[in-house]
Structure 1
Amino acid sequence: MTDDNQRRAWMDGHLEWAAHEFGVERIGQPLHTGRLHSVGCRVTDAGRDAWLRVVYADPEWGDGNYLEKNLAANAIHGVPKPTVKRWREWEDSGRRMRGELSTFVADAALSTGMTLTREVALPEQWLSDLNRALHGLAEHPAPPTGVDADYVNDGIRAFFGIDLDIASVPWTTAHCDLHWGNLTGPTLTILDWETWGRAPAGYDAATLVCTSLDRPDLARRVSAALSEFLDTHSGHVATLAAATRLLRFADGGEQTELARPVRQHATEILERL
């Protein structure tokens, strides 16, 4: 399915079907992700606001258990995040579909993409809440899957010309995709838990800093607020891992505005290593 309009209509149809199956009433317009990988909308469930989402597995997204990750994240405590209330799966033409009904988050995401597209007011309390959330997440037992160490090592070698085994530093549980499109404000909630897993300690903080580098003042504030995750050997290695991911995106034509500042930031980290 290559036509975007066709895919959007197909997803909208599944969202409507899922609303009927879950017994909820749609009260919001469908919201599609940028790559039309999932669609969701606000609904009422027994008189309470909730969020209905439909996502599908497709070979273009690679292998993995990302369809189960949002539900599995219910086991994580001490982190502001949605909770999956009910779910079910079905198939359409060989594609595995999944519907999830989750608690509703009233505050909107701070961006529609990885980087900020507008000025946002981030009070110190929001940054403190994020610091606390990352501590809570790191205390959760690390699952067996997450960031691919070999893939990152290859990327660090390709982009920076050094051999560095990121498996040699401590690893903790991480969101693994902590950017501005997955954070809400003015009250902090961390969204989209499809890829959470184990990662080098400090990886989430490093990812958020790297996706802030097109706004230097913001990057400095985030770095200062999360310095205990970043100003360590593990944090430096995690920063190179996060930088490698974004540079791969840039090579593929995405997040190109971050390529230069991310490379410069990584070069400064390499000097500390």
Structure 2
Amino acid sequence: MTADQARRAWMEGHLEWAAHEFQVQQIGTPVHTSRLHSVGCRVLDDGTNAWLRVVYADPEWGDGDYLDSNVAANEIHDVPKPTVKRWREWHDNDRRMRGELSTFIPDPAISTGMTPTTEPEISDRWLTDLNHALHALAAHPLPGHGTDASYVNDGIRAFFGLEVDIAQVPWTAAHCDLHWANLTAPNLTILDWETWGKAPAGYDAASLLCVTLPYPTLARRLRTALADFLTTPTARTAILTAATRYLRFADTGELTDLAIPIRNLANEFS
């Protein structure tokens, strides 16, 4: 058995245990995230469809109480998203585990990765709904957690040779990981609120634009639909912040096909 196979079996064992603890019936096939950080499946909760997820704490995923973030996101209103109904924690050999039972979202995620392998078919209504959702999220009270200003400043300096004090631009509540694997269609739902928090205004729109660049037509539609976020005086900072994040991925061998188009986009705002 490979290390990945062992990790899958270990996670699915915890999923079965959580189903028993939540008194729900597993009816779906377990779905693992790409790095095997979490696993989930469709369940029946007293005859109603729901989603059961198990995740574990790991230093690779950062410091802080990110395991609590999905529950904390229940406070966010007027944004299409799952709601965590029940949750509990336990430990496995000192590793912190979290189980969450959430409302079931029938529409599938648009992609299995940040960038789709084929161009998504997105309606104008979907883009309008996304614009409304991002406005509602930005209006949420500013949380104390989220993007680290010093980390981003250092990245912008390293990748673009620019001095941008992003602490001096407006910050808003943001999803902070907005890409095509965290969006559903044909009806819009924004998934995975594990890393939501504060970010420079427009950061979510800029992040999604970056991973849409391989599809120029859709990228143009996105820029038009989200113009409220991408044509403001602070859009430059949002774009550079998002570009820095994805270029860091490229430096580690991930999303390398995005490096050149993202640099070209960032050059428009440099």
SS across alignment from 1:241:
helix
**1:65 aligns to 2:65 (yes or no):** yes
**What does residue 111 of structure 1 align with?**
111
- Write out per-residue CA displacement over residues 112-135 of structure 1, whole angstroms, 9 at most, x where no aligned residue: 010011232111100000000001
* 1:166-245 equivalent positions in 2, closer than 5 A: 166-245=166-245
Q: Which moved more, 1:187-196 or 1:58-67?
A: 58-67
* 1:117-132 equivalent positions in 2, closer than 5 A: 117-132=117-132
For structure 2, the 5+ residue unaligned runs are none
Q: 1:122 corresponds to which letter in structure 2?
A: I
Distance in 2 between residues matched to 1:61 and 1:175, nearest whole Å? 16
- Write out per-residue CA displacement over residues 180-236 of structure 1, whole angstroms, 9 at most, x where no aligned residue: 000000000000000000000000000000010111111111011001101112111
**What does residue 86 of structure 1 align with?**
86
Give, in angstroms, the shift of residue 252 of structure 1.
0.6
Identity between Structure 1 and Structure 2 (%): 69
SS across alignment from 1:254:
coil
Q: 2:120 corresponds to which letter in structure 1?
A: V
SS across alignment from 1:233:
coil
**What does residue 55 of structure 1 align with?**
55
Q: 2:122 corresponds to which letter in structure 1?
A: L
Q: TM-score, normalised by structure 1?
A: 0.97
Give, in angstroms, the shift of residue 60 of structure 1.
2.1
**What does residue 33 of structure 1 align with?**
33
Distance in 2 between residues matched to 1:162 and 1:138, nearest whole Å? 26
**What does residue 158 of structure 2 align with?**
158
Q: 2:241 corresponds to which letter in structure 1?
A: A
Distance in 2 between residues matched to 1:133 and 1:168, nearest whole Å? 25
Give, in angstroms, the shift of residue 28 of structure 1.
0.4
Distance in 1 between residues matched to 2:201 and 2:162, nearest whole Å? 20
For structure 1, the 5+ residue unaligned runs are none
Distance in 2 between residues matched to 1:94 and 1:192, nearest whole Å? 25
Give, in angstroms, the shift of residue 9 of structure 1.
0.6
Give, in angstroms, the shift of residue 85 of structure 1.
0.2
SS across alignment from 2:214:
coil
Following TM superposition, where does structure 1 have runs of at least 4 consecutive aligned residues deviating by more than 6 angstroms?
none
- Write out per-residue CA displacement over residues 147-194 of structure 1, whole angstroms, 9 at most, x where no aligned residue: 011000000000000111111110000000000000000000000000
Q: TM-score, normalised by structure 2?
A: 0.98
Give, in angstroms, the shift of residue 58 of structure 1.
1.1
Distance in 1 between residues matched to 2:222 and 2:78, nearest whole Å? 21
SS across alignment from 1:73:
helix
Q: 2:258 corresponds to which letter in structure 1?
A: L
**What does residue 16 of structure 1 align with?**
16
Distance in 1 between residues matched to 2:209 and 2:255, nearest whole Å? 14
- Write out per-residue CA displacement over residues 4-32 of structure 1, whole angstroms, 9 at most, x where no aligned residue: 11111100000000000000000000000
SS across alignment from 2:99:
strand
SS across alignment from 1:34:
coil
Distance in 2 between residues matched to 1:119 and 1:164, nearest whole Å? 33
Tell me the C-alpha RMSD between the 2 structures: 0.8
Give, in angstroms, the shift of residue 61 of structure 1.
1.8
**What does residue 140 of structure 2 align with?**
140
Q: 1:199 corresponds to which letter in structure 2?
A: A
User: How many pairs does the alignment contain?
Assistant: 269
